[in-house]
Amino acid sequence: MTQDELKQAVARAAIAYVEGDIIGVGTGSTANFFIDELAKIKHQIKGTVASSEATAARLAGHGIPVLDLNDVAEIAVYIDGADEITEQGAMIKGGGAALTREKIVASVSKKFVCIADGSKLVDVMGKFPLPVEVLPMARNAVARQLAALGGQPKLRVKPGSDEAFVTDNGGNILDVAGLAITDPKGLEAQINQIVGVIAVGLFAARGADVCLLGTPDGVRTLAY
Ligand code: 5RP
96 Cβ inside 6 Å of ligand 1: yes
pLDDT tens, residue order, the chain (224 aa): 999 999 999 999 999 999 999 999 999 999 999 999 999 999 999 999 999 999 999 999 999 999 999 999 999 999 999 999 999 999 999 999 999 999 999 999 999 999 999 999 999 999 999 999 999 999 999 999 999 999 999 999 999 999 999 999 999 999 999 998 999 999 999 999 999 999 999 999 999 999 999 999 999 999 98
Phi (first) and psi of residue 45, to 5 degrees? -125, 160
**According to the model, what pLDDT value does residue 10 have?**
98
Residue nearest to atom 10 of ligand 1 (CA): 30
Active-site option among 84, 102, 133, 188: 102
Which atom number of ligand 1 is nearest to the Cα of residue 201?
13
Can you give the pLDDT at residue 205? 97
Alpha-carbon span 21 to 208, nearest angstrom = 20
Q: For residue 188, what pLDDT is reported? A: 98
The residues facing 171 across adjacent strands are none
Decide whether any atom of ligand 1 lies within 6 Å of the 97 Cβ. Answer: yes
- The reported pLDDT for the residue numbered 21 is 96
Q: How far apart are CA 188 and CA 204, in angstroms?
A: 7
Q: How many residues does the chain have?
A: 224
